[in-house]
Amino acid sequence: MGVFHRGWRTGLVLLLLAACQDRPAAVDQPRRELEGAAAAEAIAAPAPVRIVFLGDSLTAGFGLPEEEAFPALLSRRLELEGLEVKVVNAGVSGDTSAGGLSRLDWLLRQAPDILFVSLGANDGLRGLSPQMTESNLRRIVDRARAAGARVILAGMRLPPNLGPDYVREFEALFPRLARELDVEWIPFLLEGVAADPDLNLPDGIHPNPAGHRIIAELVYPVLLPLVQAAAPGE
């Protein structure tokens, strides 16, 4: 009987050891399956449509939190439509068309699907050559397209005190570029906002939150079809 009991105890210990060795694999199996499913889902998830807003202080949302500037407002509205987007606000206060062109290569490394270009206001206010502004904008559009991005061009107007001839020449370059390059465009980014004290900061130049909401409403119907066309599965 002593031999029997010793053998029984030895067998029981061996069974317990075997069970302990098998248990981690059994416990870990559901975790591994969940991790595998999560990885597969991440691989299958469609990439968001990447939209870069290249502009100056009007795009950056001068004087406001970034989430109140019109690019952020557009991002939220597109997401409410069920569209996956990644919006990059590349607005820099004081920027000119030449400055935007100098930053373009870095922005194109982010592989945008859509490039929204709103530059030229500071060129005009500084009295820079309209021919140079047009050349810079043309190069921006050409290089963005070569990188595979769709382009939206926003036009700009100037106050009349800069001289009628200069204002006329400056404002004419935007529709000409849009027509010649066949890009989507918005005739005037500040339509319905410019010169309205209720829609601008005390400086009278930069839109306040209400002004940015109007800009977003203006841009949205032009931007939406391009986002839908770029969305995976469309």
User: Annotated catalytic residue: which of 57, 75, 97, 118?
Assistant: 57
What is the SS3 assignment for 161? helix
Please state, in angstroms and rounded to a whole number, the distance separating the CA atoms of residues 112 and 49. 8
Instruction: Establish whether 5 is a catalytic residue.
Output: no
DSSP state of 89: E
Neighbours of 38 (CB within 10 A): 10
User: Annotated catalytic residue: which of 5, 165, 198, 203?
Assistant: 203
User: Annotated catalytic residue: which of 118, 123, 206, 212?
Assistant: 206
Instruction: Establish whether 203 is a catalytic residue.
Output: yes
Please state, in angstroms and rounded to a whole number, the distance separating the CA atoms of residues 64 and 201. 10
Per the structure block, which two tokens stand in for 85?
């987007």
Burial of 207 (0-12, 13-18, 19+ CB in 10 A): buried
Instruction: Establish whether 212 is a catalytic residue.
Output: no
Please state, in angstroms and rounded to a whole number, the distance separating the CA atoms of residues 200 and 192. 11
- Vertex 59, ends 128 and 203: CA angle to 5°? 75
**Active-site positions?**
57, 203, 206
